[in-house]
Amino acid sequence: MDLYSGKINKLIEELSTLPGIGAKSAGRLAFYLINEPEEHVKRLTNAIIDAKENVHYCSECFTLTDEEVCPVCRSPKRDHRVIMVVENTRDLAAYEKTGRYDGVYHVLHGAISPMLGIGPDDIKLKELMKRLTGDIDEVIIATNSSLEGETTAMYISKLIKPSGIKVSRIASGVPVGGDLENIDEVTLLRALEGRTEL
């Protein structure tokens, strides 16, 4: 027997599809939203719809942005000859929080995982290689320390090495199997500063 009406159950069901939201959290969120003033719920709904309709990939680094080129790629203060390769936009944000990296990024939107059927053509590798035809001094590979991240790092290294561009990998300090988005800024900074050439 359902405890709630169909509309409440539907809201809980939809909220529980969000990452990290189980049935209990979805229920709490549903009742919170139902009890909020309608204007607040409309603002939240409109913000979600606006982001969904207007956020796309940066034409240079492929992070998520609502402009043609993201603020990092547009900045003349950034060193455009050093590119840090990350798996997703959350990893980029984690490094930006350190406030110490002044190069630019390239977001792969995934990692090579033969077991999941994700190959080099399924992530933004071709786009990275196209960027490397410009004036680039170094590529820092900052993929996660997982099997997929390590596989991706080695694949990228083998692609870039023949070009003569310096390729480095973030140092350990980032725990194996850890996601960059969940690691504190000090650990990320130590990993960046202790990177090694591949």
pLDDT (tens digit per residue) in 24-57 = 999 999 999 999 999 999 999 999 999 999 999 9
Quote the CA–CA distance of 184 and 22 in Å, as a whole number: 25
- Give yes or no: residues 21 and 85 share one domain: no
Looking at the domain assignment, is residue 138 inside a domain? yes
Q: Write out the residue range of the structural domain in which residue 30 sits.
A: 6-54
Looking at the domain assignment, is residue 175 inside a domain? yes
pLDDT (tens digit per residue) in 169-193 = 887 666 666 677 777 776 777 677 7
pTM for the model: 0.79
- Give yes or no: residues 96 and 173 share one domain: yes
Strand-by-strand arrangement of the 138-141 sheet: 103-107, 79-86, 138-141, 166-169, 196-197
Please give the average pLDDT of every successive group of 10 residues along the chain, which has 198 residues: 76 93 93 95 96 96 96 96 96 91 96 92 95 93 88 94 91 69 73 73
- Per the structure, the count of domains in the chain is 2
- Give yes or no: residues 37 and 70 share one domain: no
- Give yes or no: residues 31 and 68 share one domain: no
Quote the CA–CA distance of 157 and 167 in Å, as a whole number: 6
- Give yes or no: residues 20 and 83 share one domain: no
The domain that holds 71 is classified in CATH as: 3.40.1360.10
CA angle 5, 9, 10 (to 5 degrees): 115
The domain that holds 35 is classified in CATH as: 1.10.8.420
Looking at the domain assignment, is residue 1 inside a domain? no
Looking at the domain assignment, is residue 59 inside a domain? no
Quote the CA–CA distance of 191 and 198 in Å, as a whole number: 15
- Give yes or no: residues 84 and 35 share one domain: no
